[in-house]
Amino acid sequence: MPEFKDQLGQVFTFEKAPSRIVSLVPSQTEMLYDLGLEEQLVGITKFCVHPFHLKSTKKIVGGTKKVHVEKIRLLQPDIIICNKEENTPEIVASLRGIAPVWVTEIVTLEDSLEMISQLGMLFNRRTEARKWIDKINHAKQDFDRFVKDVPIRKAAYFIWKNPWMAVGSDNFINEMLSTNRFANIYSDKGRYPEVHIQKIRIQGDPEIVFLSSEPYPFNEQDAFEVGRCTHHAKVVFVDGEMFSWYGTRLVKAFAYFRQLQERIS
């Protein structure tokens, strides 16, 4: 019986490829669809918005931090796909009595490519996985050539208000900031630090401040509030999916990053 290992090192054995999948991570739901597994997907979260039609054709089993365990149980899944950051240890533990729970851990681009490869093997979609990995690598190489002469600029990336929370280190968004040649002023403050924007000048004085479209709905007043605490920083609203969604979304993300660089240059 073939063995498979997830990114936490857990070993799984399956007699055949799982054919009933519950996905509790939006970016991974999109990736599974792109690997040709739409028919096998039986349950998704309310945040799984790509592709849009899945919300009307698949069972919604809750969010990423709070799931309806009984709804998942009734779907009789062969496997449940989670992520170490997106889903809590309590959720993972509560689901292990229903089906094997595969957990991904994504911090770097390499982690994302490994995940695509692993799930391609698990679901007998090796060819499709290889095509997407090649597309992402090509897009990344093209973008690297585009930004190689762009100067490194200090930046802050906010994801929440009340309290203000920024992106720190050891997460995928910080990896994408680095890829864009942005030096994160909060990279030494933990993963998602609470910060006082009134101290932003002494904490790094960024040239650019990003306000993400998710999970908090920032508005123009928020941009004004944080902007006046800086030393003439440019405040930019950005598509949070492009910075935080891993998997096949990366092909679109690198095209978006190119447009963003042109916008702020």
Question: Does 253 lie in the same domain as 164?
Answer: yes
Provide the angle, in degrees to the nearest 10, between the axes of the packed helices 109-122 and 26-34: 50
Is 136 domain-assigned?
no
pLDDT tens figures, 160-179: 999 999 999 999 999 999 99
Instruction: Read off the amino acid at residue 192.
Output: Y
Within 17-53, residue ranges assigned H as helices are 26-34
Query: Are 202 and 258 in the same domain?
Result: yes
Residue 220 belongs to what H/E stretch? helix 220-227
The three-class DSSP label of residue 92 is helix
Residue carrying the six token digits 């690198």: 254
120, 17 Cβ separation under 8 angstroms: no
- Tell me what pLDDT residue 166 has: 98
Both 154 and 95 in one domain: the answer is: no
**Domain for residue 63, yes or no?**
yes
- Whether residues 163 and 94 share a domain: the answer is no
CA torsion 132-136-138-142 (nearest 10°) is 160
Identity at 37, one-letter amino acid code: L
The answer to the question of residue 82 being in a domain is yes
> How many C-beta atoms lie closer than 10 Å to residue 34's C-beta?
22
pLDDT band at 1 (very low <50, low <70, confident <90, very high): confident
Domain holding 23, by residue range, is: 3-105
Pair of tokens at residue 225: 């509030």
Q: How far apart are the first and last CA of the chain?
A: 55
Residues 75 and 15 in one domain: yes
Q: What is the pTM of this model?
A: 0.96
pLDDT digits over 190-209, tens only? 999 999 999 999 999 999 99
CATH code of the domain in which 93 resides: 3.40.50.1980
Work out the pLDDT band at 137, boundaries 50, 70, 90. Answer: very high
Rounded distance between C-alpha atoms, residue 172 and residue 178, angstroms: 10
Mean pLDDT of 248-262: 98
State the virtual CA torsion across 113, 116, 121, 124 in degrees, nearest 10. Answer: -150
The full length of the chain comes to 265
Q: Are residues 78 and 167 in the same domain?
A: no
The answer to whether the Cα torsion of 87, 128, 118, 146 is positive or negative is: negative
Residues forming a β-bridge with 237: 211
